Chain A
């Protein structure tokens, strides 16, 4: 494998964001994944979302586990540090990274093997802890790097490339996230950039745990007839329950949707999340309702996508722990060391 450096020449007509940067400033190394891999579309969506939000490209902490999905943080935001850690353990590393420096935007990328099998415990507990981060799962229902074994999100009855059916019940990370306390839960499809980019933008701006399950077909091992995570299957069975648009605080709201189906959600930083309900009965602020809706549709063979739940007033782990506003990583001796006088008082109390 070689390391390919992309040429740094920008097309003169690439639009500049508020920082005077183009989308190219948010890119990473050339992907080594298969041509057509859904994961590359997710990386591209992250690049677009970060560029459009005008976030400083070096102020991210990118964390991943192990697997195809977990390679992707080197394919976006190469001005930020990334950490390709241990299989299934991205959540703990991300927790530490976020505890150390709350000012960096924490993006965790994981896969279905990484988060639903070996890392299911860590997934559940980081959601409980409400780490302020964007947690993306590139969900393809298969183990790509080890050549096509079923993963735990693979639907029962879905077949492998060779035709063997999956015999076990699937784990639905969306339902789990809803149940355990994620304050932003969405599902999308790597092939639907129009839906995915606004969701990522909203997730990045969300204060608290933002979880997005992205169905991302594996062209090598899980894109055949009989697979329920193929491009074709998702295009046929995907059901967008709520369309999302993310509007920065000062931008004019221009989208034109039928009155009554539109809802503006004010985000803590002053920006606005615009929701357009496709199903008028759906309430994205009702955690239990969302859970029921997702499961019922799933029973009917539909894959519900869009923003499924959001709590704009959510708290994060730092608020739960009551930590200082300054990043812990920036505290120095004067902040941290109580000094010898205090120690002598402790000695005295131990006599």
Chain B
């Protein structure tokens, strides 16, 4: 028997609210603790209980963590979706199901391996309580998988002990359920299978964390003191993690008082209003939302752009438009975020690709907002935000100081002859601001969204308005040098590929596969908008540039054409927008097809 180690995709098909999440999470964590690079994807409905939900785990020794098409092992625990679940298994793959009731003949596939376990029947003699029987089904298939895939049993039992610490009565029955599953797999099935897990050191010192939790930690470390938000999937856990970590790490030891304010607002309009009010008054403030919230916040974003008030907005993108598919991922808010609001507006965007980058951008975005005196929008997505992802450990430089930007204190005001809030003293388009209450006589001004001159005095002078709008463009140019630069890997190839955010995940795998076909590309991972010189150069230096993204309208391509004034024919859109995360297969196939259709030269052809 040829055994493949540490390289498969397993998908659990469950019913929402049946307690499967905990068992599935333990499964993934066990693989991670055995040192195998593991990626998890929760594909869930907008529902509390009853609708189908899937949990996909990919492990790969090479560290390919993006989504790959095809399911090697299907754990089919939902009768409602069993037809499509069985259909999704790759030929030669495995179907694990509860054969207490036999599988309908019409569902039998000759090209896959059926593994029937009478889970319900096994539960009957073990647990008298029907609710327990139902819940422990999940733990039982987890035990069976441990036997079938050769997962170290101690790792799983250890997790059970940790998870139910303090509820010790639950430990023994959980372990019993695990044993029932494992013993059945070893005794009656041909376990272990040719697909197996074995201990590895490929994880190294990496951690497993959701992007949203990392974003919250980054905001906390970056000095955010006001978090105002309104619940919306998939962003809610950013705010909730901020509160959780705040309660752990930001409480005055003597008084028990909190060094942060956490406010669930009545809607997104209010959430961003609180953020802008707090930032105007000197606190570092942020909100987290998703597409519909971004739309609601647009008027305020225009005010903050024009009045030049720092703000940080995390948009954890989901499928739109409207409510779209609220629990599915997408990179669909680029254009609406970049130009949010009425009149001429532009906002810097950041595109984190990993939890570590979520952490870093959490802090960096607060610095940038203060430095540029404008809203910074961080575009994450459900894929990154809500899935446990393998990440480099988070690091904070204790010598780092917050960049509060150009803020004049009372002493600076005393030394100043003339204060004009919107005077471009330094030529970088950024004026000096003062905070309320700073000085008894100097520096007070009236902030408004209507036209004003350099001294913040109301005016409807056409010249003053134009001068101000032109200065904001100077500031925009300054922003290009301050936002995180793109990651460019270029070796003078004629064709390049641009991607960003979670599209980076399947990219290494897609590149390796394309390379086997003789297609090699220079790469550019965009990390921010406005585009820095390195991005403009990358486009200029390539004859053709693929832009890979997860939306229908090729929104990054639109931004590149619009901001870089490039010839649109230079860009080829590689798109996926079905609501799952983009797969290596999709990227490989679309690029490969383009090469075929346009008869582009490949490495092998060039050299022959």
Contacts and interface: CB of A to CB of B under 8 A. Distances in A.
B9 interface: no
A33 interface: no
Contacts of B439: 58
Contacts of A78: 444
| Range of interface residues on A (Cβ < 8 Å) | 35 or more
Interface in B207-262: 207-209, 217, 220-221, 223, 225-226, 228, 245, 249-250, 252, 255-262
A337 B303 CA distance: 30
Interface of B: 33, 205-209, 217, 220-221, 223, 225-226, 228, 245, 249-250, 252, 255-263, 265-267, 269-283, 285, 299-300, 303, 307, 393-398, 400-402, 434-441, 444-450, 457-460
Interface in A329-351: 329-333, 335-340, 342-344, 346-347, 350-351
A83 B280 contact: yes
B285 A96 contact: yes
A179 interface: no
Contact of B269 (A100, A122, A321, A328): A122
Interchain residue pairs A-B with the least CB separation, the first 7: A96-B277, A92-B273, A329-B282, A100-B283, A96-B278, A93-B277, A81-B436
28 contacts: A3-B457, A63-B277, A73-B446, A80-B444, A83-B277, A84-B449, A85-B303, A92-B265, A93-B277, A95-B263, A96-B279, A97-B278, A99-B261, A100-B280, A100-B281, A100-B282, A122-B266, A122-B270, A125-B270, A322-B256, A322-B257, A324-B259, A329-B225, A343-B221, A346-B217, A350-B207, A350-B208, A351-B207
B360 to A, nearest CB: 12
A133 to B, nearest CB: 11
Contact of B225 (A80, A83, A328): A328
Contact of B276 (A73, A96, A325, A342): A96
B245 to A, nearest CB: 8
A321 B398 CA distance: 29
Contacts of B303: 85-86
A146 to B, nearest CB: 15
B418 to A, nearest CB: 15
A81 B446 contact: yes
Contacts of B397: 340
A121 interface: yes
Nearest to A351: B207
A1 B277 contact: no
Most chain A CB within 10 A, of B206, B277, B278, is at: B277
Contacts of A31: none
Given A57-B440, A125-B266, A339-B398, 18 more contacts: A81-B436, A84-B450, A85-B276, A86-B273, A93-B277, A95-B277, A96-B275, A97-B278, A104-B437, A121-B270, A122-B270, A129-B263, A323-B258, A329-B283, A332-B402, A336-B250, A337-B396, A343-B221
Nearest to B274: A96
B252 A324 contact: yes
A86 B449 contact: yes
Contacts of A331: 223, 225, 259
